[in-house]
Structure 1
């Protein structure tokens, strides 16, 4: 059983000026990130690939914030840990605080750091037409491959939003692994049909090909995540996951009632307080 952690931006000390207000609830301080990594010393931290045993913990980052390169990657490398970095391609060289093309290339060249897609524009896939979804999937992957010179065959959905048409388009668009935001643990045997599952070479990495249609579950690490809570999520404590799955179901119901636009607008208002 594996636990996939979802991070976003990191920050040093109390300086959060490089992080937008609405992103602050998911921003983690460098000190907290170090303490969290230290708790994982006895764990097998890796990727869903064929080069090692099944990892206990998989670390992922969404969006492509500059702190992923400046803070996260060196700390991970120093501990021999790998991670997925899911990049919104239109943020590259365009959005303040996010990586440039040159910085992304540096990250992609670091051993154990796997670059995946987070869409082109960060639009929610369940708001898009089939053609718009296909464009987001294909263009983001193409852009990332041109910038890094490496194959991009994994994706996480912005906001964890997707629908059946999104899932139907994935393999034709060249993806072999896809991650959501639904909280849960991951059974490699169910997700990848190991050990018979074929794998795909991604330069020096060999990612397993996902068999289940639903996205790989993750658990979000937030600014207010305590070490006690982090220990429970990475143990993993099933009672913790049950409780948060119930909360997630309530949020999903509210989102379906309000729609993505109103729901996200409400989130932005609350995050600004």
Structure 2
């Protein structure tokens, strides 16, 4: 009888020991698994800065500059907005109208050298908008460089020259031509330029003559081109140049409905706050004229 009790007590003790051991094993296993998972997680993120992963990569020139000094002007003054198209050799072009908008690279460089030598500041469109609407001062010798249509030579010829001089400019893109075989810029080129001092903005989808379109059709091409560029460049697109400078009574409402805050025509003259900001003037740079006309149009708002 006594031996039976001893065996029972031993059995109970054995069960207790096994139970405690099992619990301890389970606890240790969970603890070890947790360490392994932690180690794996640390290894998977080794060498990666969390802020580098989380932060949005932004273009180098996406912020407004705050200009300081005594040689600043407010929006009671005007700013020349130069209008270019193609920067390429025009020696074999016979059509006069076409030749006038194809400026040879060496002439373009001469013009940029003049700007540099004479202390000009090239404004972004954000800076121009801030000047016109919010009276933010800019350097007295300010100019805006714009390029219509987004020809590939803007990348191969104009862009290297602008980088050489540290200048900024804006390309108005016919989005329907992007990545198509032909003379227009690719998505990769647009992204590169947008991240390095060139602002990319809208020139409609297919260079439509807006003066022939209804409000609905105008709004469609204005909105679609804007959305295409915003998706491609991951930024807001606020500005547009009307193709061939054409517009009608519906254009202002279409531009507002599509979300634009500033727009350009080809009407001759400098940009000023007294002009409707959705119909700003520009200065045509004529490839058939010499440096003297360039200087005159750059320095006098009442040029011929």
TM tier relative to shorter chain: 0.7 to 0.9
Q: 2:216 aligns with which of 127, 131, 136?
A: 131
CA contact (8 A) 1:167 1:213 kept: no
1:223 matches 2:287: yes
1:176 matches 2:261: yes
CA contact (8 A) 1:13 1:30 kept: no
Length-normalised TM-score, structure 1: 0.73
CA contact (8 A) 1:13 1:31 kept: no
Match of 1:172, SS state, is helix
Alpha-carbon distance between aligned partners in 2 of 1:153 and 1:134, rounded to the nearest angstrom: 14
Q: How many residue pairs align between the two structures?
A: 216
Q: 1:166 corresponds to which residue?
A: 251
Q: 2:171 corresponds to which residue?
A: 85
Alpha-carbon distance between aligned partners in 2 of 1:214 and 1:119, rounded to the nearest angstrom: 15
Match of 1:175, SS state, is coil
**Stretches of 4+ moved more than 2 A in 1?**
12-16, 20-25
Distance 1:174 1:225, change over 3 A: same
Q: 1:34 corresponds to which residue?
A: 109
> By how many angstroms is 1:237 displaced?
5.5
Q: Which has the higher contact order (CA 8 A, sep 6+)?
A: 1
Distance 1:167 1:177, change over 3 A: same
Q: 1:104 corresponds to which residue?
A: 190
Alpha-carbon distance between aligned partners in 1 of 2:291 and 2:103, rounded to the nearest angstrom: 12
Length-normalised TM-score, structure 2: 0.66
Q: 1:268 corresponds to which residue?
A: none
Alpha-carbon distance between aligned partners in 1 of 2:187 and 2:278, rounded to the nearest angstrom: 31
CA RMSD in angstroms comes to 2.4
> By how many angstroms is 1:78 displaced?
1.9
Listed as ranges, the gaps of 5+ residues in structure 1 are 192-211, 244-273
Q: 1:6 aligns with which of 76, 83, 89?
A: 83
Q: Which has the larger radius of gyration?
A: 2
Distance 1:231 1:12, change over 3 A: same
Distance 1:15 1:82, change over 3 A: farther
Q: 1:59 corresponds to which residue?
A: 145
Q: Deviations over 1:19-73 (max 9, x none)?
A: x996432010000000111111222221241487256211100001011111112
Q: Deviations over 1:143-169 (max 9, x none)?
A: 111222222111000000011211112
Q: 1:71 corresponds to which residue?
A: 157
Distance 1:21 1:91, change over 3 A: farther
The within-5 A match list for 1:167-246 is 167-187=252-272, 189-190=273-274, 212-236=276-300, 238=302, 240=303, 243=304
CA contact (8 A) 1:141 1:152 kept: yes
Listed as ranges, the gaps of 5+ residues in structure 2 are 1-77, 131-135
